[in-house]
Structure 1
Amino acid sequence: MEKYGFEMELSDFNRLMDALSKARQVAKAQEVFDQMRNRRFVPDTKSYTILLEGWRQEKNLLKLDEVYREMKVEGFEPDAVSYGIMMNAYCRAGKCDEAISLFREMEAKKCKPSPHIFCILITGLGNEKRLQEAVSSGRFHDVDRILDEMRKCGVGPNSRTYDIIIHHLIKAGKPKTAYKFFQEMSSDEGCEPTLSTYEVIMRMFCNEERVDMAIKIWDEMKAKGVLPGMHMFSTLINSLCHEDKLDEACKYFQEMLNLGIRPPGPLFSNLKGSLLDEGRKDTVVHLHRQIEKLRRGGTSLMRPVKCYLFH
């Protein structure tokens, strides 16, 4: 730009640094930053934030800490975005204590955290298998306290927050606690469970061979107008086959066909094998015809089929 008589401005440097960082060339972005300083340009918070995000993507904690320290020495206070970048980097590196420390610093400086920051902390703690205790020191004694902390900060937990908590609790082998949070989520006004939430809870009950509870969740979901997808149908039907509840398995299989969802091959093979073991060849033939009609683009799958499916 200067070659053609245009003077560089701070915004030009920031745009160039941002483009380089997004192209995974953060070292060059750092060079641009250093050149900017040498030309007596004073960087702003955005300049530092761009570098922080670049070094975070490179997983270079050493450079990240260096830029963060310099930012504070130069008199720039981190904002919610800067704190979020730092916490994300620490959590991904398994350094959740450092992330919590930054959260406390953020709180002390009256910098309001976003739901994203709480999601970062919850995910990090879950990955460290510390979600239930959530951090034994400070004010984070368990997951409930994290949610309370969010509310105190004026940031109510959203569906994503609950999804992360439920996912990690199930992964940690705490189904009862996971279901407790699911119920809390369901009753939290403006924080409805998503299809993903219903799917993970239903799969949890199916894995525990509690298909009755899985069906209860299914019914709650449909009552709220959330339609199941192929994976949910597969999970439920396979579980019903495993428990020899073939009439119900056929009912949900037919419901899947009626919605125009093509069943995956392994699902029909499993149902077919269970039906043939019970001598129900006519039902297998009927379902196969229904599948073929769906594949050919047929639309008349809604007619009653009780004479085929149920004895």
Structure 2
Amino acid sequence: MKMSLLRFLNFLSKTHRKPIAAALFTRSLTTYSKQSIERRIFNRNSLPGHETSFGYSSTLHRIIYRSIHEDLTPKHLSVEHYEKNPAETKLEQDAARICTLLSTHSGSHADKLLEDASIKVSPSLVVEVLKRLSNAGVIALSFFTWAEKQKGFKYNTESYNALIEALGKIKQFKLIRSLVNEMKSRKLLNKDTFALISRRHARARKVEEAIEAFERMEEFGFKLETSDFNRLLDTLCKSRHVEKANKVFDKMKKRRFVPDIKSYTILLEGWGKEHNLLRLDEVYLEMKYDGFEPDVVTYGILISAYCKAKKYDAAIELFHEMEAKNCKPTPHVYCTLINGLGSEKRLSEALEFFERFKSCGFTPEAPTYNSLVGAYCWSMRIDDAFQVIDEMRKHSAGPNSRTYDIILHHLIKARRTNEAYFRFQKMSNEPGCEPTVSTYEIIVRMFCNEDRVDLAKQVWDQMKAKGVLPGMHMYSDLITSLCHKNKLGEACKYFQEMLDAGIRPPAKMFSNLKQALLDEGKNDEALNLARKINKLRGTPLVVGDQK
């Protein structure tokens, strides 16, 4: 595939609600003393010693709770395994090397370095690199263009879909349409491709285009089924277009599709995330009217919705209703309640649900322990949270990078930023705890908020050296901080790097940078930035003639 990238890359470089059921059980939880529950969770005398907190304080660093604590409770829980076979390790090492090269060099120089690196290209390596470059669409496209010329490259659906995901994030929808046609000619299209395109349109607030992508599957020879309909609903709901999803449901119901229980639970989850219990109740009643009784997934979604709306007593009553109907709560349900009650500082109840979880025969795994870690942290009992981490190690259930993300969030919230940085530095030494992009974002933002921009840049460089690429929010934090320190030359450098990755800057950040330049009399630089932004918005990447 010959991509006409030069033109593009050249300019870049230069209501109080009652519970749903009318008659819910109101029995209270079995009462344990707080101390006896905690003794059941871990025996303090048997645990390895843990490091005490340092007690440093500094400027309060605010991090969005949702991004750290959400999705701790996947529907399918599995034990964490840290031992990898040599082939997996080699693939990850090669992918990291490639991403590091691409993030620090560009154009033909990057191509030469890739050639000199003598890395053997394989379909699995291409997919791994593209996934790691999902926040840098232009770089992902450059890599794909280089890789397809290498021995060992093979076109497959997974690599195309990974590229489409990266390009969708920078709204290169015209190029994506060309890639779809190319995939069709190679007989590599599948329904996942259209689901990806639909999701990227929805995330870009192009709702009608998202629906159109769903509809176009028929044009390419795919038969639309209820599962595809559900996927569209899920895409719209998870992109915060729940009202539109509900309208699509009403329009298509029984005309084109017969909804199943999953159709209803998707809408229930959507309204739950919007904290709209009135609409949630309406969908629930419609579901029951159509003959569907709540199953374990439905109850989990309802309990989660009430926890998000801070109706914890109602959530607990739903838990009891679930048990009374012989619908056994899953680990997901327990995690939801431990998370919710912990965030409300109802620690003793959260601990009791953890104890009930174990008494039901479940073996705690990383997501469950992470919920418990979060519960202790919300009550600022961080030393106890570290004892839970020791317990995780003893049972080979973690910790993982998300465990430390939770700890870091609460240390920073408690103004213990030096300790947060100390813990961050130790993460890489623990199996399964390599910092992720979200971890780096936490620490970079912490230093930016404290006007310690040199340390923020140091962490940034560590991240890039490991082949982890920053996203829009990280660039925004660092550039804004540099503007506040009047380091406009450096701010412009990172801004250019952001554009080189194809990332469109947030309007507010760009406005602040432009104004800072104007205030310093740097009118030409401000005008140059404005031109680059306009060109980025108006210059799509193009697919040329295919091989």
TM-score bracket, shorter-length normalisation? 0.5 to 0.7
The reply to whether residue 272 of structure 1 matches residue 514 of structure 2 is: yes
Match of 2:412 among 170, 192, 202: 170
Classify 1:92/1:256 alpha carbon distance in 2 versus 1 (closer, same or farther; 3 Å): closer
Compute the displacement of 1:272 (Å).
Answer: 2.2
Summarize the alignment of residues 121-136 of structure 1 with structure 2, pairs less than 5 Å apart: 121-126=372-377, 128=378, 130-131=379-380, 133-134=381-382
SS of aligned partner of 2:421: helix
SS of aligned partner of 1:165: helix
Classify 1:243/1:114 alpha carbon distance in 2 versus 1 (closer, same or farther; 3 Å): same
Match of 2:468 in 1: 226
**Structure 2 Cα separation of the partners of residues 96 and 284 of structure 1:** 52
Task: Could you tell me which runs of 5 or more consecutive residues in structure 2 were left unpaired when the two chains were aligned.
Answer: 1-259, 269-279, 542-547
Summarize the alignment of residues 254-273 of structure 1 with structure 2, pairs less than 5 Å apart: 254-273=496-515
Compute the displacement of 1:113 (Å).
Answer: 0.4
Do 2:323 and 2:329's aligned partners in 1 also have CA atoms closer than 8 Å? Answer: no
Do 2:265 and 2:301's aligned partners in 1 also have CA atoms closer than 8 Å? Answer: no
Larger Rg: 1
Compute the displacement of 1:239 (Å).
Answer: 0.9
Classify 1:111/1:242 alpha carbon distance in 2 versus 1 (closer, same or farther; 3 Å): same
Do 1:118 and 1:150's aligned partners in 2 also have CA atoms closer than 8 Å? Answer: yes
Corresponding letter in the other structure for 1:63:
E
- Alignment TM-score, normalising by the size of structure 2: 0.41
Classify 1:297/1:114 alpha carbon distance in 2 versus 1 (closer, same or farther; 3 Å): same
Post-superposition CA distance 1:214-251 (Å, at most 9, x none): 00111111111111122211111111111111221111
Match of 1:307 in 2: none
**Structure 2 Cα separation of the partners of residues 251 and 236 of structure 1:** 11
Which one has more relative contact order, counting CA pairs under 8 Å at least 6 apart? 2
**Structure 2 Cα separation of the partners of residues 185 and 244 of structure 1:** 33
Match of 1:187 among 413, 421, 429: 429
Task: Could you tell me which runs of 5 or more consecutive residues in structure 1 were left unpaired when the two chains were aligned.
Answer: 1-14, 33-46, 135-140, 300-311
Classify 1:242/1:78 alpha carbon distance in 2 versus 1 (closer, same or farther; 3 Å): closer
- CA root-mean-square deviation: 3.8
The reply to whether residue 96 of structure 1 matches residue 347 of structure 2 is: yes
Do 2:322 and 2:328's aligned partners in 1 also have CA atoms closer than 8 Å? Answer: no
The reply to whether residue 154 of structure 1 matches residue 396 of structure 2 is: yes
**Structure 2 Cα separation of the partners of residues 102 and 186 of structure 1:** 32
The reply to whether residue 209 of structure 1 matches residue 460 of structure 2 is: no
- Alignment TM-score, normalising by the size of structure 1: 0.67
Post-superposition CA distance 1:277-304 (Å, at most 9, x none): 33322322322222222222177xxxxx
The reply to whether residue 248 of structure 1 matches residue 499 of structure 2 is: no
Post-superposition CA distance 1:33-79 (Å, at most 9, x none): xxxxxxxxxxxxxx8897677556555256357458869xx9x9987
**Structure 2 Cα separation of the partners of residues 273 and 182 of structure 1:** 35
Corresponding letter in the other structure for 1:199:
E
SS of aligned partner of 1:187: coil
Match of 1:118 in 2: 369
Match of 2:317 in 1: 63
Compute the displacement of 1:267 (Å).
Answer: 2.1
**Structure 2 Cα separation of the partners of residues 270 and 261 of structure 1:** 17
Match of 1:144 in 2: 386
Compute the displacement of 1:262 (Å).
Answer: 2.1
